[in-house]
Structure 1
Amino acid sequence: MIDSLLIANRGEIARRIIRTARALGIRTIAVHSDVDAAMPFVREADAAVCIGTAPAADSYLRQDRILAAARETGASAIHPGYGFLSENADFAEAVIAAGLIWVGAPPASIRAMGLKDAAKQRMIAAGVPVTPGYLGDDQSPARLQAEADAIGYPVLIKAVAGGGGKGMRKVDAREEFAELLASCRREAAASFGNTQVLIEKYILSPRHIEVQVFGDRHGQVVHLFERDCSLQRRHQKVIEEAPAPGMDAATRAAVCDAAVKAARAVDYVGAGTIEFIADGSEGLRADRIWFMEMNTRLQVEHPVTEAITGQDLVEWQLRVAAGEPLPRRQEDLAIHGWAMEARLYAENPASGFLPSTGPLDRLHFPPGVRVDSGVEQGGAVTPYYDPMIAKLIVHGTTRREAAAKLAAAARDTQVWPVKTNAAFLARAAAHPAFVAGAVDTGFIERHGDDLIPAADPSPAVLAAAAAALLPEGRDPWVGLRGFRVNRTPVTSVAVAVAGSTHLVAQPRAAGHNQDGVLFLDGEAWPFGPPRADMLAGGSEGDGAILSPMPGRVIAVLIAPGQAVTRGERLLVLEAMKMEQALVAPFDGRVAELKVAEGAQVPEGTLLARIATGEE
């Protein structure tokens, strides 16, 4: 077994790896950026090394510094987690060349599955079904147009080096093809440095089915059944589950056998995921499930597989990397119950899912739920990395039971002042269509109006806030509850709303902008008496361009005095891998420009002001 393990990652997955390594008696080493120095994963490791500043390019993507940290601390192995360098074949080779154990896929396997077109050609040769499409070398617009015409619309244009939802365009009609092809190639060039694309038949009722596979160095490959990751927003997974709803035994056998074939075709070792796209218009059928791509690493959603199989997949990774055979044979693995995972993000669904950053004054999860989180109460969400706060994982005997547990877990999650998608998750897990198993990748788009909470508080929230502001009839002695000399007075009361009890925290220290926070069904509502600053705010028509989120100004497209038209792009902000363009609210001119390119700004900052011609 490995004796010391450096984890080339951060946050939630680093803590997850540390937990298993500690149970196996393995010494752990964390590497971290300067802004992550106080994070839980750094504290929980046996040793830690700072490898750079906040931007990932200056820290978590610095192969030389990670390898230097491994040498300095005497690490015998490196686990890359997921994201960052986990699927970088050059880094894997560098780790192996340094005489260290690489806890990941062989470099050759990573390369074989790294480009979508080459991977599909290999799968065709291995007898794995692939989506109808064009994978050819002729990349001329005319040839691509002709192939799309032959496949039949709608089609999907995909960058061969793409990932994370980038470099993809759906084309509904022939006349749209040329423009969308050019757009796809521009994005692919900017994101991946590769403009080559492939054309696929667009599946009208798509289901995202993936199979967990594992291989060892002794020629064994097994699967640990399937997961359904169809509940997505902008190609990003939101809720994952295992097994897949509507999957019968014959279809499961076909898709899992195809996944094992795919892994064997690239001599796979370690944890991997074979992703399939299924046409769910007539239910799941073996002849309507096609290979899409392979992720040559551990997946974010691996806990649902652990829950239904009773296996620790990180332990499997460590044992296989050390040269041991797989811990279980295929016949020893079985599905037990149903599991679901929801990704709790620091974002505001009511504002177009814009990222939210700041301190975590309150971070509470309900008991009886597995929570994999990279942060803790008293910490903060920074704008530098992925906005995921935690993963909520539940297990039940049936799918309906698991869905009810997930909805309850999201409703009872309390986060403040950072905004989250907890209420959105609760509504999704409790939606009748989701409970019935009617899920595909268009679920959120179809049911968006039902899932996104209202921006204004409901009567129940207002009633609860009023009750909290007047606890026990305004008794003056009760009003002093929580008073301590030289300490911030805080009162917590329990408020009954529709049969549920919700915590209300009431900070009264100078500088606080609210008297309390009501947590109800996954949402957090600040409340208190009206304040002068609340009554004197500007209107939408005053031309003030405010930062809708904390972030970095990556583009300034205007100059003072410049004439602008309504809807014209003025500035672009970036935070947590998301770009937000700010546009002119009306025709006018730039009266003020308050920021320069590269500036880091908090939420609500005045960036510019547009004046009308009369001003």
Structure 2
Amino acid sequence: MFKKILIANRGEIALRIIRTCKFMNIQTVAIYSEADAEALHVQRADEAYSIGGPRVNESYLNMDKIIGIALETNAEAIHPGYGLLSENAVFARRCVEAGITFIGPNPKVIEQMGSKIESRIAMEKAGVQIVPGIRYPLENVEEAVLVANEIGFPVMLKASAGGGGIGMQLVNNAEELRKSYAGNQTRARNFFGNGAMYLEKYIQNPRHIEIQILADKFGNTVYLWERECSIQRRHQKVLEEAPSPFLDEATRKSMGGAAVRAAKSLGYSNAGTIEFLVDSEKNFYFLEMNTRLQVEHPITEEITGIDLVEKQLRIASGEPLGITQSEIKRNGHAIEVRIYAEDPKTFFPSPGKITKLSIPDGPHIRHELGMEENSVVTSYYDPMIAKLIVTADTREEAIERLHSALDSYHVEGIKTNVLFLKELTLHPAFQSGETTTNFLERNQFSLSAK
């Protein structure tokens, strides 16, 4: 097992990794930007080093400095967390070349799954159903119109190298496609350095359901059930729960089997997630693979009792998985909501100083905090303050526990989405499990929160 690792991330995910490392007696090295000098992850790590200016390209994306600090501190491995460099094949490759273990899959797989087009081709070869669409980059907007007419509108225009909804748009006809093509291509080029675009058939009123997998370096692969992540805004998840209130056992096992088959076909190792779109008839289609830990991983930990970060570390150090599929049990129901510093009426960030922070406590209530009272939410990074996770024997009890926890949440100095989350989870459609990806638009919340 590693004696020391560097965490190439910040905020709540850095703190989450530090917690497991302390349990495993692994020393941690934190990095921080000028804006994060007083951040919690800096205080909690065994060592911490300044990495540069406040902007991510000056600090958290500076591969040379990160690898240099890892070498200087004798860190044997780097955990990338999620976001930032976590799915950057160049960074993973540079770690390996420097003699540092990258806690994640091999660079070739990261690169392959980072391309939406290549990943579709790979999944089709593995026998996993994909959304109807093309398997090559579009040449221009006129070709896009021709292809869309063949597939049939509505279609999803997507960036091949995309993520987080950037460069992606639903288009209903040829006129909309012509208007939106150039803008989405430019955004994709600006964000990802790659303007390649492709088209998929739009699945009407789908659910977004993902399967967590673990795979070791010896070919052992298991799935840890599913997470329902359908409630989204601007293609970003708002609330996640496990298990899905929609799936039956046969579909659940079929999706898990498909995810394992996909991972094995890639020679995958470490933690990963296969994301699917699921239609109203429970037909499921491969959407993408995330070759990293997910923001919503705690709900899987809550229903399985498995520490995913610990498994990542053990797999990366060369240990066998140590668990079989039949040993992975599913107990209870877990829900996660993301507490953001944002105006709930516009979803725009609300930077500023947290002058008061009072959070709920009690059995089966878990917090993944990235900030504390007097912390400053800056405009440089994602404005997530924390993740709130509740667990209970049933979904109904978990919802009740979540309402009680949100009632106890009190933040001053900035605007938050806490009251919005309460309104969302009180909605009859949510309580009855009618959670599709257009949930927020379809139900038109009053957003009365201030």
- Provide TM-score, normalisation by structure 1: 0.71
Matched, 1:163 2:163: yes
2:4·2:27 contact (CA, 8 Å) conserved in 1?
A: yes
Give the SS at the match of 1:161: coil
State how far apart, in whole Å, the 2-side matches of 1:38 and 1:143 are: 52
State how far apart, in whole Å, the 1-side matches of 2:215 and 2:449 are: 47
Q: How does 1:211-290 map to 2 (within 5 A)?
A: 211-280=211-280, 282=281, 285=282, 288-290=283-285
For residue 292 of structure 1, what is the aligned residue in structure 2? 287
**Residue 141 of structure 1: how far off its partner (Å):** 3.0
**Residue 279 of structure 1: how far off its partner (Å):** 1.2
For residue 447 of structure 1, what is the aligned residue in structure 2? 443
Gaps of 5+ in 2: none
Q: Summarize deviations over 1:248-287 as a string: whole Å, max 9, x none.
A: 111011111111111112111001010111113x4xx2xx
Q: Which of 351, 354, 357 is the matching residue for 2:351?
A: 357
For residue 431 of structure 2, what is the aligned residue in structure 1? 435
**Residue 93 of structure 1: how far off its partner (Å):** 1.2
State how far apart, in whole Å, the 1-side matches of 2:11 and 2:138 are: 43
Matched, 1:76 2:76: yes
For residue 175 of structure 1, what is the aligned residue in structure 2? 175
For residue 316 of structure 1, what is the aligned residue in structure 2? 311
State how far apart, in whole Å, the 1-side matches of 2:449 and 2:83 are: 33
Higher deviation after alignment, 12-21 or 174-183: 174-183
Letter in 2 for 1:414: H
Q: How does 1:408-557 map to 2 (within 5 A)?
A: 408-450=404-446, 452-455=447-450
For residue 305 of structure 1, what is the aligned residue in structure 2? 300
State how far apart, in whole Å, the 2-side matches of 1:116 and 1:72 are: 36
2:137·2:160 contact (CA, 8 Å) conserved in 1?
A: no
Give the SS at the match of 2:212: strand
**Residue 104 of structure 1: how far off its partner (Å):** 1.1
2:5·2:76 contact (CA, 8 Å) conserved in 1?
A: yes
Count of aligned pairs: 448
Letter in 1 for 2:167: G
Q: Summarize deviations over 1:505-539 as a string: whole Å, max 9, x none.
A: xxxxxxxxxxxxxxxxxxxxxxxxxxxxxxxxxxx
Give the SS at the match of 1:250: helix
Q: Summarize deviations over 1:542-592 as a string: whole Å, max 9, x none.
A: xxxxxxxxxxxxxxxxxxxxxxxxxxxxxxxxxxxxxxxxxxxxxxxxxxx
1:7·1:31 contact (CA, 8 Å) conserved in 2?
A: yes
For residue 118 of structure 1, what is the aligned residue in structure 2? 118
For residue 378 of structure 1, what is the aligned residue in structure 2? 374
Letter in 2 for 1:147: V
Q: Summarize deviations over 1:460-499 as a string: whole Å, max 9, x none.
A: xxxxxxxxxxxxxxxxxxxxxxxxxxxxxxxxxxxxxxxx
Give the SS at the match of 1:403: helix
Structure having the higher Rg = 1
State how far apart, in whole Å, the 1-side matches of 2:431 and 2:167 are: 32
For residue 345 of structure 1, what is the aligned residue in structure 2? 340
**Residue 360 of structure 1: how far off its partner (Å):** 1.1
Identical aligned residues as a percent: 48
Q: Go from structure 1 to structure 2 and tell me whether the alpha carbon gap of 1:137 and 1:7 turns closer, same or farther (over 3 Å shift).
A: closer
State how far apart, in whole Å, the 1-side matches of 2:348 and 2:195 are: 29
Give the SS at the match of 1:272: strand
State how far apart, in whole Å, the 1-side matches of 2:182 and 2:154 are: 17
**Residue 173 of structure 1: how far off its partner (Å):** 1.9
Higher deviation after alignment, 303-312 or 166-175: 166-175
Q: Summarize deviations over 1:88-119 as a string: whole Å, max 9, x none.
A: 11111111111112111111110110100111
Matched, 1:367 2:339: no
State how far apart, in whole Å, the 2-side matches of 1:190 and 1:28 are: 34
Letter in 1 for 2:250: A
Letter in 2 for 1:293: E
Matched, 1:29 2:29: yes
Q: How does 1:67-106 map to 2 (within 5 A)?
A: 67-106=67-106
**Residue 168 of structure 1: how far off its partner (Å):** 0.9
Give the SS at the match of 1:90: helix
1:231·1:238 contact (CA, 8 Å) conserved in 2?
A: yes
1:408·1:426 contact (CA, 8 Å) conserved in 2?
A: no
Higher deviation after alignment, 13-22 or 35-44: 35-44
Letter in 1 for 2:219: G
1:136·1:198 contact (CA, 8 Å) conserved in 2?
A: yes
Give the SS at the match of 1:449: coil
Give the SS at the match of 1:347: coil
**Residue 396 of structure 1: how far off its partner (Å):** 0.9
For residue 148 of structure 2, what is the aligned residue in structure 1? 148
State how far apart, in whole Å, the 2-side matches of 1:275 and 1:315 are: 22
Matched, 1:398 2:394: yes
Q: Summarize deviations over 1:108-131 as a string: whole Å, max 9, x none.
A: 110110100111011111101000
State how far apart, in whole Å, the 1-side matches of 2:218 and 2:153 are: 45
Give the SS at the match of 1:349: coil
Higher deviation after alignment, 18-27 or 145-154: 145-154
Bigger relative CO (Cα 8 Å, ≥ 6 apart): 2
Give the SS at the match of 1:355: coil
State how far apart, in whole Å, the 1-side matches of 2:6 and 2:322 are: 23
Higher deviation after alignment, 70-79 or 131-140: 131-140
**Residue 366 of structure 1: how far off its partner (Å):** 0.7
